[in-house]
């Protein structure tokens, strides 16, 4: 006949059902307090993200400055790459130009909306508009990063591996590097606004 095994020694306190329920409720309350709103965000990183989102929220001066910087760097990347001699048929460079053109249009549209909101008192922080801005920023930042990364890989291949920039005088790799750098800055600024909008949308859920 099998002997029953006692998993808990006599001195080990066995939690009762009421204690387990109380611990579970305390955990739920603590989890809710971490995601309850702007004032209840937990941790230093969360507080910093909340402060960033408050500074660059749509319809504010911070948001207008951020969109203007996005537009400036995206347009600079597009113009620098488009005016570079020896552009040829390198697909990543054309992808970067297309991504920066789209980023410029998107940032220009949102900058105009921020300006109108500041002048006429429009409310750009409704749930629907925040979600639209969030989707647009995430798409723009993802495409911009992919385009900048592919251009950087091609520039590294031409400059370091193939030594093509030294062999072929018509290739102005300095312009390619500058345009790619502008593209990375435009992506970083777009990612900042995307993260801030994500934080604002998450706080309203």
pLDDT tens digits for range 155-192 = 888 887 777 777 776 777 888 899 999 999 999 999 99
**Which of the 8 DSSP states describes residue 90?**
-
Question: Alpha helix (H) ranges present in the chain?
Answer: 17-34, 43-55, 61-82, 91-120, 127-156, 164-167, 173-204
Q: Please say if the pLDDT value at position 117 is more than 60.
A: yes
Q: What is the mean pLDDT of the chain?
A: 79
Q: Please say if the pLDDT value at position 152 is more than 60.
A: yes
At 124-146, the pLDDT tens digits run 888 899 999 999 999 999 999 99
The pLDDT, as a whole number, for residue 37 is 47
Residue from 128, 106, 110, 126 nearest 118 by CA = 110
- Asked which of 6-10, 92-96, 126-130 is least confident by mean pLDDT, the reply is 6-10
Joined together, the tokens standing for residue 8 give: 């808990």
The pLDDT, as a whole number, for residue 109 is 96
């Amino acid at each position: 006949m099998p002997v029953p095994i006692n998993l808990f020694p006599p001195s080990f306190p066995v939690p009762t059902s009421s204690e387990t329920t109380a611990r579970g409720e305390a955990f739920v309350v603590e989890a809710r307090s971490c995601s309850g709103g702007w004032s209840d965000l937990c941790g230093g990183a969360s507080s910093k993200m909340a402060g960033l989102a408050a500074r660059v929220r749509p319809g504010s001066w911070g948001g207008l400055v951020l969109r203007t910087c996005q537009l400036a760097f995206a347009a600079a990347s597009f113009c620098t790459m488009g005016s570079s001699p020896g552009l040829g048929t390198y697909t990543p460079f054309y992808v970067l130009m297309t991504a920066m053109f789209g980023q410029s249009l998107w940032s220009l549209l949102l900058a105009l909306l921020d300006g109108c909101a500041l002048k006429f008192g429009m409310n750009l922080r409704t749930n629907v508009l925040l979600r639209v801005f969030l989707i647009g920023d995430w798409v723009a930042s993802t495409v911009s990063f992919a385009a900048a990364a592919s251009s950087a890989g091609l520039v590294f291949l031409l400059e370091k591996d193939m030594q093509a920039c030294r062999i072929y005088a018509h290739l102005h790799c300095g312009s390619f590097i500058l345009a790619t750098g502008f593209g990375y800055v435009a992506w970083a600024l777009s990612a900042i606004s995307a993260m801030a909008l994500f934080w604002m949308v998450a706080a309203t859920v």
